[in-house]
Structure 1
């Protein structure tokens, strides 16, 4: 029985640190609430404008502020008490959500209100994430960092699987004002974990926020080949292997089923991440984490290639249902697509566990906040580049072509870059080196 249990997620971080437990619970509930607001704002924007372009511009408009917030938030986390930085940023996040709910209750919402408040909310939350991730290694032992990262995969799965569906139901039956108000309640839980923390000031030489702090972080990153390469690998994976922007068209044109298929495909990615965290016990025992990152991303690239093949089969009419109507679902290929996307979600989550652990263990505390800020920018910015790649190539060629080509590019580039960096392949978690 003990051997079997060892395959399940390691809950030792909860037992080792009540402070980490409270912060994880608060972050999970707040993240779920954040998903409610993200989806509700998108639906709200479409209702006000009737324009998918206006909806897409929510993400585009927030990109530059998010990058600035990630970098500056990391500098703040390396210069001041991280608990205080996270609390101030969380207060701004909560305030923007309260104002959003108030505007909706007063029926004063406009396009510019939605843009402005979503930007403030996203930027402030980015600072919270940078500070919070820099706090984690101060709460639990180094050997439990992989388990803590796997628990974050549970959080992501809950957010992405439950959040959008719950938002749709709430908007449909209760309205926007109630949906935003529920997020206010859930967002308040973020303070549960942060308020009870002790003061956590960075250790080592402190550099005040500004250009010198940025240069100091850049100088470290230039020497930290392992950390630098994991950033590059993640950007490659997300740029060439992020098919999310294709899902609506795939459901409408290739696989049939419309929005339901889109929801199934999206949930499949999150389900894969969730299940890989549930069964992440062996992941925490892997010492050669650089090699683990390489293999996980190659599996990710292979699953994205397989998704392209499934779409290609749909384009050829394979397993097409004998039914009247263009949106009749191709159930066989929808199931196949969902399975390979679940594998992609699982592989991406395993890679994320290793990357996050490496970052938290190998980077000195005095500069950890800045590197966490860069990490957040990479993680959030990569999918936006991926949407641009997939959307452009699908427009110029076909829906199945971006994932098919992108998956092969990922496998080739990642294999080449890691082979050229033997130090990364031999990285030992027992002796972390940036």
Structure 2
């Protein structure tokens, strides 16, 4: 007799399985909003190009200087403009049309990419010139990031803000995977630096096209718009100082990036420890972030986001510390990928806490502070890692500092109780646009 076919699954079981998959898989509901969809598509292309340049610059600088300290200085070069224009750009975003500000700063970023392309084609071989262009690009990036972060809560409903941020960070991490791999191929070609910067210029032009199609995004309460200048910046800083949830979310990110960011060590590690694989090292963190993003449906359901942020940072630093103890490329890549998964989770929680806690009238300024912290922290981390590697060696610069990050974050999160018990669900209704 032929075998009896298995009975079909009951409809209730199928429904439960479908609900489970929706709860685990990436939440794509924000893509139903055309403005957000266009913005995400343009930014996704730019992420790839930006990462090509972000890998090419330290590789070019290391090739010219043969020093991890100079590689670390590429991060420091952009720190002051990042701080100044991140803070002031956020204040401007609370006063003027955020779409106009985003487009103007993105255009400046594109011009700097063209300048990097020119110096490579002309074979100028000037580290100071590269550092100067990095500084200008950092200032433009700070303004565009502050404007873009203030735009997102205006173009999707408040309950979808965590999902929108997850889509953004997932797209960014896909770029962080593809960009270094593309950079590794292009850099290996004759005149490889020129090919790499040229690819960034082409991809970034897609972001400009998407920015041109954005609608006007003016402050909601124009009567409460800041007058600009130092006073408006200080108003935003005072708001943060009185909100332990916000300043602690910034503090744990600073600890994560300054104490446990190993990227400035990748050129040296690839050459002296692993015998190559610099592109794979730069991609590893992002590979883990992409994997986490694809199964991130649960992130939006977590309510104690302060606690979850702290634990994600601890997981990040622990995985980075372990990666610094191995001497084979693939195990190091696997551990860095685990760190990247934790980093994606922490990034979503940081951004969501800020966007749901801040009123629209302050959102640009607080997003500017967020940009300074998120982008400035890795630059300080590059300097710290490069200086430590030059004086104490690769192992302590990589693993020892990451373990210190674990201790600092656990102690801080437990001491700041409003942050530890913060419930983002309670903040969402108040953050909905009128």
When the two structures are superposed, what TM-score results if normalisation uses the length of structure 1?
A: 0.86
CA contact (8 A) 1:90 1:128 kept: yes
Q: Which moved more, 1:188-197 or 1:226-235?
A: 188-197
Tell me what 1:132 maps to. 148
- CA deviation string 1:80-127 (max 9, x = no partner): 000011111112222233344456556678555434333322321221
Tell me what 2:238 maps to. 219
Residues 376-415 of structure 1 correspond to what in structure 2 (within 5 A)? 376-415=371-410
Quick one: structure 1 residues 296 and 374, their matched pair in 2 at CA, closer, same or farther if it must change by over 3 Å?
Answer: same
Residues 5-404 of structure 1 correspond to what in structure 2 (within 5 A)? 5-15=22-32, 17-45=33-61, 54-102=70-118, 111=127, 113-173=129-189, 175=191, 176-204=193-221, 205-253=224-272, 256-260=273-277, 262-308=278-324, 310-311=325-326, 330=328, 334-404=329-399
Distance in 2 between the 1:263 and 1:106 partners? 25
What is the CA distance between 1:301 and its match in structure 2?
A: 2.9
What is the CA distance between 1:374 and its match in structure 2?
A: 1.0
Quick one: structure 1 residues 44 and 387, their matched pair in 2 at CA, closer, same or farther if it must change by over 3 Å?
Answer: closer
- Secondary structure, aligned partner of 1:173: coil
Quick one: structure 1 residues 90 and 42, their matched pair in 2 at CA, closer, same or farther if it must change by over 3 Å?
Answer: same
- Secondary structure, aligned partner of 2:394: coil
Distance in 2 between the 1:414 and 1:295 partners? 9
CA contact (8 A) 2:77 2:132 kept: no
Distance in 1 between the 2:107 and 2:133 partners? 14
Matched, 1:426 2:421: yes
- CA deviation string 1:235-279 (max 9, x = no partner): 1122221222333443444xx43222x433332211111111111
Distance in 2 between the 1:41 and 1:170 partners? 13
Q: Which moved more, 1:46-55 or 1:357-366?
A: 46-55
What is the CA distance between 1:229 and its match in structure 2?
A: 0.6
CA contact (8 A) 1:304 1:406 kept: no
Distance in 1 between the 2:126 and 2:313 partners? 42
Tell me what 1:322 maps to. none
Kindly tell me the number of residue pairs found equivalent between the two proteins.
409
What is the CA distance between 1:128 and its match in structure 2?
A: 0.9
What is the CA distance between 1:372 and its match in structure 2?
A: 1.0
- CA deviation string 1:146-186 (max 9, x = no partner): 11121122222222221122123224436344443332221
Quick one: structure 1 residues 383 and 13, their matched pair in 2 at CA, closer, same or farther if it must change by over 3 Å?
Answer: same
Distance in 1 between the 2:50 and 2:373 partners? 20
Q: Structure 2 unaligned runs (5+)?
A: 1-16
Tell me what 1:324 maps to. none
Quick one: structure 1 residues 30 and 397, their matched pair in 2 at CA, closer, same or farther if it must change by over 3 Å?
Answer: closer
Quick one: structure 1 residues 32 and 119, their matched pair in 2 at CA, closer, same or farther if it must change by over 3 Å?
Answer: same
CA contact (8 A) 1:248 1:258 kept: no
Distance in 2 between the 1:306 and 1:134 partners? 36
Distance in 1 between the 2:310 and 2:70 partners? 37
- Secondary structure, aligned partner of 1:6: helix
CA contact (8 A) 1:13 1:147 kept: yes
Q: Structure 1 unaligned runs (5+)?
A: 315-329
- CA deviation string 1:39-96 (max 9, x = no partner): 3444555566666655543332222112212112111111100001111111222223
Distance in 1 between the 2:263 and 2:120 partners? 29
Distance in 1 between the 2:347 and 2:96 partners? 27
When the two structures are superposed, what TM-score results if normalisation uses the length of structure 2?
A: 0.86
Distance in 1 between the 2:153 and 2:227 partners? 22
CA contact (8 A) 2:180 2:282 kept: no
